[in-house]
Amino acid sequence: MHWSPPQCRSESRYGVFNEGYGREPEETFDSESAAEEYIHDQVRFAVENYEHDGSELPEISGLDLKVGGEWAHNLYDQAIPNFMNKYLKKWGSKVGTSELPTANPGTLRFEIVDPNGQVQDAFRNRQAADEAVRGYQQSHRGPGKWTVHDTGKTEKVHSIDITPAMKKAVMKEGQAIARAEQPSWQGIALRELGSQAA
């Protein structure tokens, strides 16, 4: 389902088209936002009122099917990094690794632990937790040390360092996919959908 400006100016300005309706709009609207709201309402209604018809869900079997495994490892850990290393060589960069937290950014992952090993407080970021520990250490001058415990886990991911030469080239020369002589994705979409602006 998509909206599109109609061909004639005397009609409403935006039509919502559905594959089941052929070339005629299912509904027409005077504004883009009204058309988008209609589509959102239709999708929301379809999701909220979906009922499975009881038929068996399709299964794929045979052909020694595998999910992930060696193919995914070869693609993500070898083929893509190898391609990127060749591409980045002209700018003096290469693929490396970084660690990203896997916890939700709003999680209170940095816990303040007192000298007895008890959690006394928790914070969203390390800086706030470190400041709190300094404050606890000054106000509780007894034996033992207050510490910050990071409860979040991290995952290693591929990354690249953006060198000054790379930044300069991208800013001044651009990349092939973003150059002006390439057709815009909006133009391609309109052409594929057979819609032209009024």
pLDDT surpasses 80 at 31: yes
pLDDT digits over 60-119, tens only? 666 666 665 677 777 788 888 888 888 888 889 999 998 887 777 778 888 989 888 899
Backbone φ/ψ region at 106: left (φ over 0), alpha (ψ -120 to 50), beta: alpha
What DSSP assignment string belongs to the chain? -EEE--S-TTS-SEEEE-GGGTTS-SEEESSHHHHHHHHHHHHHHHHHT----SPPPP----TT--SSHHHHHHIIIIIHHHHHHHHHGGGT--EEEEEEE-S-TTS--EEEE-TTS-EEEEESSHHHHHHHHHHHHHH--SSS--EEEE---EEEEEEE---HHHHHHHHHH--GGGSTTSPPHHHHHHHHHT----
Which pTM does this prediction carry? 0.39
Q: How high is the pLDDT of residue 43?
A: 79
pLDDT digits over 124-148, tens only? 888 999 998 888 888 877 778 899 9
pLDDT surpasses 80 at 3: no
When comparing pLDDT for 28 and 193, which is higher?
28
Q: How high is the pLDDT of residue 130?
A: 92
Q: What is the mean pLDDT of the chain?
A: 76
Q: For the chain, how many residues are written?
A: 198
